[in-house]
Structure 1
Amino acid sequence: MLLCVHVAQEEFQLKNAHSPLLRSYHSWIANETLEDYSLRYAARSFRRWSPFVIANTAIGGISFLALEAIGGAITLSYGFANAFPAILVAIVFIFTASFPIAYYSSRYNIDMDLLTRGAGFGYVGSTITSLVYATFTFIFFALEGAIMAQALLLLAGIPLVLGYLISSIVIIPITFMGVTMINRVQLISQPIWVAMQLLPFAYILYEDPGTIQRWTGFLGAQEGGGGFNILSFGSALGILFALSIQIGEQVDYLRFLPDKTEKNRFSWWAAVIFAGPGWILVGGLKILFGSFLAVLVISAGQSKATALEPVHMYIQAYEYVSADPGVVLAAATIFVIISQVKINVTNAYAGSLAWSNFFSRVALYHPGRVVWLLFNIMISLLLMMLGVFDTLEVVLAIYSVIAAAWVGSIFADLAILKPLGVSPSFTEFKRAYLPDFNPVGCGAMALASLVAFSVFAGFFGELAQAYAAPLAFVVALLAAVLIGVATGGRYYIARPSVALAGPEDANVRCELCGFEYERPDMAHCPFYQRPICSLCCSLESHCHDMCKSPEGAEGADFGLRLGGLRDKIAPNTVKRLIKAAGVFLALTVVVAAAILITYRLIEPNPETTHLDSSLVLIGVFLALLPLLAVGTWWIVLSHESRELAERDLLTSLEELAKAQEDLAANERLAAIGEVTATVSHELRNPLGTLVNSADVLRRSATGEQTETLGELDRLQRNAWRCVKIIDDLLDFSRNYSFYSIEIDMDGWVTRALADMDPAMRARIVLDLGSESAVLADSERLRQAFVNILNNAAQASDLAKSDAPIEVATFSDGDEVVLDVTDKGGGMTDDIQLRMFEPLFSTNAFGVGLGMPLVKRIIEHMGGTVKVISKSGVGTTVQLRLPRVEALKK
């Protein structure tokens, strides 16, 4: 018997859990100094900087000279009378729209993409906004790189092509080291930049105050620039709306703020406001600077194209500081280079985060933030070569429509739906708890973009066209609120979060990658039955989101239901095409950039372009496209082959674990059977002697010997209990032969109860409504049913409850359910976990084989046993067997 007890005390293993493949990340991803929690919640242990340092770094990114170029462009086109009010309105709008974004990102320490996931877009839906955000970063990187290249051309005569390369390459080592290095660069450069930014304006206002009058009286090139014109005002405002996405770059740093405490409350809020929505206060001032300087350059007799180049703006400004042309040129160039480096480390950093988020969900693959840093810079370099600076106004006008639709959708969620209680008060970002698509953000942004682009295309007149971007914001805001209220917010969370064991302040180990992370970055995975980190959850390809369907979140796959079309296409076709499109885009960008660089090196002067060389290179590019397509498909298929190999390995490990589990169970049964068979014969004879002797003594005792008769009865009862234990052990260790027949469940329950003790029948309340048949062994099913009824009776007796035992049958889909419910004391979670262990019992006189035997019998007949119990309330045991109709399908 000692062997049986020893076997029964083996560690309990969770059933139905899949054996995880330990995921390994290369050093770039594992090193968070480089990775900067690019796809994660920013851990408390990493957020070691003061609010001042973080705010200083975030504000350092406002140095971008594209602001001056934008201010100059709208002033030269639409005049001061329209540009100035447009700038003021844009400042108020961007500050208001950006405030909730900055607060929630700082409060929950997540970047723009992770915030968007939980603020109305869903886990996959936010890939759209990741792409929009990435586009913003490489457009402005290209603009700033082009400005720096212009400065290098003037200062050292470096050709524009080489200037583009230099302006891109110098950013890589700083951004490679992540926010740690960026903090240092911004801290050192900030005082120099502020001084050089303000110095020339102080000289201009002192030496020539009349320039202010020339600025405010500038008419602009467009008709109606002499006074306020509703059309010109709207056109200028539309361009400025593109800057609303800048808040994304601000929160990429604000997520590293320390937790708000009573001690740092003032500095925390100051950092959130000043470095968050407050960026537009500094940015708006720079736009006005650009507006003023562009007029100053035009007044000096320069062309409009020259006036829009920031390097020429500041050359003109520094001429008021020094009469030496060499000093002026050097000062302006140094200022431009410092500004370009300060902003482009932010653009490149933000772009690496955006691409990481995009491709991790599209391809379920994450090579590291550094890889996407290089990819983002490559696209920016390509835009420089294409002359993006020359099309500044058009590019920003188009982009502003999408930006306004996105900001309007997310603003509606954070500022309206959360206070109303429609959206959850917190911001969830983990794949394990999010639906793929949320119609609130996705639907609102899609509708707003469609309406605004129709207006922008001129279908509704010139006036409406000018206000396409503000219209996109308003439509997105209203649509998000209406959709959110109409859906009741049920598409925000796919399933409730599961609390993880352990102290609240302790890190939790991810069972897939082996690293420990803070609790907000961890989730419970039902597929592996283990805690995993958010990155491993994002990259998991084997689970197929089983945690979210069907019980997890009805409707969580909103937007993906294709009906009969899904059955007509090959499995994973859509996913495969998305992967191929992403890889093809990346390869095309790289090849196009290489060919364009070659072209520019051959023809550095666009005015003397030879047609032959351009046609040859275009032909080479077009010839390479089929090879790129083949290479793309090979990469996708190779990646799928690796995934298939991993899946096969996982399946093999699962089968091995199941075989080990079955082997352990068989060994346990063999041990029980061997010990029981050995001792049963030896124990039955003495026990039989005890029973017979007690019976003889009881008959020989007189009626006056009440105490003696009671003890003899107790002796007989316990001897029979020992015999029953031996019978149970033999019964449990025996391999049954099952003979299944079709059984009408309702009639079978009635007959089974009719054969039971009348006292037991009197306690039972019947509710039979399955009206279905099952395929089962009647005798074995009776054995399981009686075991459960006995347990229910014992639980009620122990709880001193005279409540009846409820027996019910009903159909649940393809299953027939037999319910037995008692009003006893219920079970704790620990007992529920161990109730199917052989030889585990909470009954002092129990042997602990009843429920394991029930489980064996029901599972052998293709069913399952489900227990629903709450301590102090009672227990329901469900025997679930497949319906005969379902088996015949």
Structure 2
Amino acid sequence: MRFRNKYIIPILIFAVLLILFFNLGQWYIFSQVRDFAESVFRENLLAQAELAASSFNGDAILSLQGDDFYAPDLIDIKDRLDRLKDDYDFFNVRLLDLDAERLLGFADYDTASFIFDYDLGPFISASAGIPAASDLITARDMYLISAYAPITTSLDSVVAVLGIDADYTFFKSLAEFKNNLVYINVVSFIFILVFGAAFVLINRRLISTQEALYRASALTSMGQMAATMAHEIKNPLGIIKATAGRIKSRYGKDSDDRIFDFISEEVDRLNTILAGYLDFARPVDHSRQLKKTDLKELVESILRQVRTDFARDNIEISFEPADKEYPVLDDGIGFRQAFLNLIINARDTYKDGGQIRIELTSNGDEHRLQIVDRGGGIKKELKKRLFEPFSTTKAQGSGLGLYVAKKLIEQNGGRLDLRNNNEGGATAEIILPAYKEQ
């Protein structure tokens, strides 16, 4: 059962979409304001250029000589251009001939080059008698719009073009707003990432917690059920085994027929499974008596019990620890059962016999016991649930061996780890705290 909340995910999606729509809305407003302002400023500048151009006498301009700087009409035109620039705080005001060369007025750049680079379309339009304005141009922290209006003679022929450049500082504020908008977008994006990561982390914790609670509840229920079933079945099994023994002694005492042993062997197998269920259901006993035990001697005593059975399956066990003491605290039951479960697991990985190597080392603070086999290793589908109860691939396994082994080892303050070997097979590693005299 996984944690699900039908409200959290929609709320998260809604929050993300809200932030995205907010950011997109800000960009939309920015683009609309910029386009509207540019349109208004262009129209106003064009109207001013047309009005100013209509006040100039085209016939007088046509009759002027370029080198007659003291002619009254020329001085008047210069003064009017200067007043136009100063009164409206224009960036540039100049009078151009039809070749885009400046006749009169102020410009701090090459007029013809600028026009051919940026304003060729509006200038050609004005030269043809149609006033026109350029798009917004950004240059050297300036935001320029240029307007061009024709100056005509009494015969309506265009003799010159009035060009006006205006620097609109409003767009500088708009550019700062754009930078702030980019900053807000970046912060919003980071917030979405952090919020999403936090949500995923919290949701995983909630899932893990709920699964742990569910698993604990299920294990408690299964443990109670297993204990009840084990106790109920154990007594009838004892009667069945005793009856099988009496049948063999009466009818098959001198017989080599294996049929008389089948019942007893199957009862023993069922008793082993029941013992696993009882170990699974048994709670941690904090009142058990722990005493100093030599881990090496404990392992050797267990191996003496199983060597004969293992030899029948062509399993060879090697155990050659250093000749010293490996003191631990043990109750005489927990580690023995855990070690038996692990070594039986190692045996069951072989089909036609093999070798199990047991290594015991110590660093003074911890003892490390490794059970190494060269069998089939840990299957991929079992890696994540190795120590979960009832996880097994054995046809006749209960799936409780590793769970019980881990539980018993942890009761003794130790750790259990299983991993595949690079050269094949698997290693079960038990780490137990070394006992030190107080």
Range class of TM-score, shorter chain = 0.5 to 0.7
| Local SS of the residue matching 1:756 | helix
Equivalence for 2:343? 789
When residues 301 and 30 of structure 1 are mapped into structure 2, their CA distance, relative to the original with a 3 A threshold, is same
Cα distance between partner residues in 1 of 2:374 and 2:208? 39
Q: Secondary structure at the match of 1:805?
A: strand
User: Does the 8 Å CA contact 1:773/1:883 hold for their aligned counterparts?
Assistant: yes
What is residue 662 of structure 1 aligned with on the other side?
216
Q: Is the 8 A contact 1:789 1:820 kept in 2?
A: yes
Q: CA deviation at 1:853?
A: 1.0
Do residues 859 (structure 1) and 407 (structure 2) align? no
What's the counterpart of residue 12 of structure 2? 25
- State how far apart, in whole Å, the 1-side matches of 2:188 and 2:253 are: 87
More strand by share: 2
Larger radius of gyration: 2
Q: Cα deviation per residue 1:558-591 (whole Å; 9 max; x = unaligned)?
A: xxxxxxxxxxxxxxxxxxxxxxxxxxxxxxxxxx
1:764 aligns to what SS in structure 2?
strand
Name the CA shift for 1:22/1:791 in 2 (closer, same or farther; >3 Å).
same
Q: Contact between 1:784 and 1:854, CA under 8 Å: does it hold in 2?
A: yes
Given the two structures, how large is their TM-score scaled by the length of structure 1? 0.31
Matched, 1:822 2:370: no
> Of residues 282, 299, 302 in structure 1, which corresponds to 2:106?
302
Tell me what 2:197 maps to. 539
- The answer (yes or no) to whether the contact 1:840–1:849 under 8 Å persists in 2 is yes
- Pairs within 5 Å for 1:613-624: none
**Structure 1 residue 676: Cα displacement:** 1.7
Q: Is the 8 A contact 1:18 1:654 kept in 2?
A: no
Deviation at 1:838, TM superposition (A): 3.3
Distance 1:313 1:325, change over 3 A: farther
Q: Which residue number corresponds to residue 806 of structure 1?
A: 358
Select 2:228's aligned residue among 661, 664, 674: 674
Report the equivalent of 2:281. 733
Letter in 2 for 1:25: L
Letter in 1 for 2:300: L
1:751 is aligned to 298
Is the contact between residue 306 and residue 312 of structure 1 (CA under 8 Å) also seen in structure 2? no
Contact map agreement 1:687 1:723 (CA 8 A) in 2: no
Alpha-carbon separation, structure 1, partners of 2:228 and 2:399: 18
Specify whether residues 677 and 710 from structure 1 end up closer, same or farther in structure 2 by C-alpha distance, changes over 3 A only.
Answer: closer
Cα shift readout 1:194-252 (whole Å, capped 9, x = no counterpart): xxxxxxxxxxxxxxxxxxxxxxxxxxxxxxxxxxxxxxxxxxxxxxxxxxxxxxxxxxx
Q: Which runs of 5+ in 2 are unaligned?
A: 47-99, 138-143, 147-173
Q: Structure 1: which amino acid aligns with 2:425?
A: G
**Aligned 8 A contact 1:805 1:822 in 2:** yes
TM-score by length of 2: 0.57
Among candidates 127, 131, 134, match of residue 327 of structure 1 = 131
Q: CA deviation at 1:26?
A: 4.8
- Give the equivalent residue in structure 1 for 2:44: 156
Change (3 A) 1:353 1:718: farther
RMSD (Å) for aligned C-alpha atoms: 5.5
Q: Distance in 1 between matches of 2:423 and 2:280?
A: 30
Partner of 1:714: 262
**Number of residue pairs matched?**
337
Looking at secondary structure, tell me which structure has more helix per residue.
Answer: 1
Conserved 8 A contact 1:360-1:538: no
The 1:784/1:698 distance shift into structure 2, 3 A limit, reads same
Superimposed CA distance per residue, residues 65-109 of structure 1 (whole angstroms, 9 cap, x where no aligned partner) = xxxxxxxxxxxxxxxxxxxxxxxxxxxxxxxxxxxxxxxxxxxxx
Cα deviations by residue, 1:766-807 (Å, 9 ceiling, x for unpaired): 4669998665545301210121112112223x2x24234233
Secondary structure in structure 2 of the residue aligned to 1:763 = strand
Q: Secondary structure at the match of 1:847?
A: coil
Tell me: CA distance 1:31–1:655, structure 2 relative to 1, closer, same or farther (3 Å). closer
AA aligned opposite 2:124: Y
How far off its partner does 1:34 sit?
Answer: 5.5
Preserved CA contact (<8 Å) 1:743 1:774 = yes
Q: What is the CA–CA distance in structure 2 between the aligned matches of 1:355 and 1:766, rounded to whole Å?
A: 68
How far, CA to CA, are the matches of 2:217 and 2:131 in structure 1? 85
Structure 1, residues 423-466: CA drift from partner, whole Å, max 9, x if none? xxxxxxxxxxxxxxxxxxxxxxxxxxxxxxxxxxxxxxxxxxxx
Distance (Å, rounded) in 2 between the aligned partners of 1:29 and 1:791:
51
Post-superposition CA distance 1:607-659 (Å, at most 9, x none): xxxxxxxxxxxxxxxxxxxxxxxxxxxxxxxxxxxxxxxx7x98787655533
User: Is the contact between residue 20 and residue 650 of structure 1 (CA under 8 Å) also seen in structure 2?
Assistant: no
Q: 1:670 Cα shift?
A: 0.2
Contact 1:772 1:811 in 2 (8 A): no
1:828-868 deviation per Cα after TM superposition (whole angstroms, max 9, x unaligned): 21233444343444333433321121122123344443221
Once the two structures are TM-superposed, the CA of residue 880 in structure 1 deviates from its matched residue by 3.8
Secondary structure of the structure 2 residue equivalent to 1:878: strand
Could you tell me how far apart the structure 2 residues matched to 1:670 and 1:790 are? 26
Aligned residue number for residue 61 of structure 1:
none
**Alignment counterpart, residue 428 of structure 2, candidates 877, 881, 886:** 877
* 1:363-409 C-alpha deviation (Å, 9 max, x unpaired): xx23xxxxxxxxxxxxxxxxxxxxxxxxxxxxxxxxxxxxxxxxxxx
Higher relative contact order structure (alpha carbons within 8 Å, sequence separation ≥ 6): 1
Gaps of 5+ in 1: 1-10, 38-136, 159-295, 338-344, 367-534, 544-646
Q: Distance in 1 between matches of 2:8 and 2:329?
A: 42
Are 1:828 and 1:870, in contact at CA under 8 Å, matched by a contact in 2?
Answer: no
Task: Report the CA distance shift for 1:871/1:332 in structure 2 as closer, same or farther (over 3 A).
Answer: closer
- Measured in 1, the distance between the counterparts of 2:407 and 2:417 equals 13
Determine if contact 2:338/2:408 at 8 Å carries over to the other structure.
yes
Work out the percentage of aligned pairs sharing the same amino acid. 16
Structure 1 match to 2:248? 694
Deviation, structure 1 residue 710: 2.4
Q: Give, in whole Å, the separation in 2 of the partners of 1:664 and 1:789.
A: 28
Q: Distance in 2 between matches of 1:879 and 1:313?
A: 81
Task: Give the superposition deviation at 1:823.
Answer: 0.6
